[in-house]
Amino acid sequence: MQHEAQSWRELLASIISDPKEKQHILDELAISSITLTRWVNGETEPRIQNIRHLLAILPRYRELFLRLLSSEEWYHHATTTTPELFHKAISADFYARVLFAYATMADYLRTWSLCQLILQHALQHLDSERQGMAVWVVGCMPPSGPHHKVRSLRELLGFGTPPWHHNLEQKALFLGAESLAGNVVTLCRPGIIQNLNEAHNLIPTTQADYEKSAAIYPILFAGRIAGVFMVSSTQPNFFLSPLLTNLIQQYADLLALAFEPEEFFAPEQIALGIMPSQEKQKRAFAPFRQLVANTMRGAASQQKPLDPIQADLRVWQQLEEDLLNLSAKDPLY
């Protein structure tokens, strides 16, 4: 029925005829059933942030919704309002929160806690209308290999708004020279792709589910790099506003506080390899918890006990080595 709809209201009415879909919309938009009925009946117009959120939680209907909405005068007016209004500066209160956490946090908690604090605030700030965004902090793996270089990056922590899950940690991957993040780390300068579906072949990209545009900024200290702040959007051309990209730069600068000085690397220490696809990495990650447990038992048996953080890192390093070797042997892996 949806493909026969003559207006976005008819399309919405068709979708919410399924009680599960209706409840999903009510829960995600935090609106009442009466409000939804008034939209369908033409009694009221939804706020533009509600429409954008609706598009984000119903990705399979997004293109049809946009085509039907394009003839609505109120929608055209709302979407041509300057986006800079939503890109307010990071507040002084938040800077104070970050500095307080930096000054008082125990060493072993600092990286994770500061990344979580900054990422969650950035997500709420940069995607206040919940159009669909994922934010990640990506760190350089410790130098390894015969030349003792940084050979890959690892997604450390991520959060999202629909259609992504809120906590993206279970989706974490290694990234290498095949990725835009790898290109940013190698060149130590930002990378922005406004439309990943039209990205030029000369730009290295690996496109995630739902991702239409991306902005990646290096995390720098004294000319060295620890990783990148990576922002993905469901909207093409989302990163056109200089105010928005300046904010992303500022969050990347704040994230530098989450890393220790020895976790920043000079450009000559970077020599990224190629990492396999997401599907193939997932297969390698499947026994991760068991590998950590085995590593801790093995170290204890040799009277060289490891804490869980040390064991995790050792397993990540072994997985990195295995995946790089597989890519080197078979580039199609």
Whether 86 has a pLDDT exceeding 60, the answer reads: no
CATH H-level, domain 88-269: superfamily: GAF domain (3.30.450.40)
User: One-letter amino acid identity for 151?
Assistant: R
More confident call, 4 vs 176 = 176
HEC readout, 3-54: HHCCCHHHHHHHHCCCHHHHHHHHHHHCCCHHHHHHHHHCCCCCCHHHHHHH
pLDDT digits (tens, 9 = 90+) for 34-50: 999 999 998 888 877 78
Whether 127 has a pLDDT exceeding 50, the answer reads: yes
Whether 30 has a pLDDT exceeding 50, the answer reads: yes
Average pLDDT over residues 159-176: 89
Whether 31 has a pLDDT exceeding 90, the answer reads: no
At residue 138 the predicted structure's pLDDT band, cuts being 50, 70 and 90, is very high
Q: Residue 289's pLDDT is what?
A: 87
Whether 105 has a pLDDT exceeding 50, the answer reads: yes
| H-assigned helices in the chain | 8-15, 19-29, 33-41, 48-57, 62-69, 73-79, 92-104, 107-126, 180-187, 242-255, 278-285, 288-301, 308-329
Whether 184 has a pLDDT exceeding 90, the answer reads: yes
158 CB neighbour count, 10 Å cutoff: 24
Is the distance from CB of 217 to CB of 252 less than 8 angstroms?
yes
% pLDDT > 70, the chain: 91
- Reduced to 3 states (helix: H, G, I; strand: E, B; else coil), residue 262 is helix
Whether 332 has a pLDDT exceeding 60, the answer reads: no
Whether 151 has a pLDDT exceeding 80, the answer reads: yes
pLDDT digits (tens, 9 = 90+) for 192-238: 998 887 765 555 666 677 898 999 999 999 999 999 999 999 888 88
pLDDT digits (tens, 9 = 90+) for 6-18: 888 999 999 999 9
d(CA 218, CA 139): 10
Is the distance from CB of 203 to CB of 180 less than 8 angstroms?
yes
Q: Residue 48's pLDDT is what?
A: 74
Average pLDDT over all residues of the chain: 87
User: One-letter amino acid identity for 324?
Assistant: L
pLDDT digits (tens, 9 = 90+) for 291-311: 888 888 888 888 788 888 888
Q: Residue 78's pLDDT is what?
A: 57
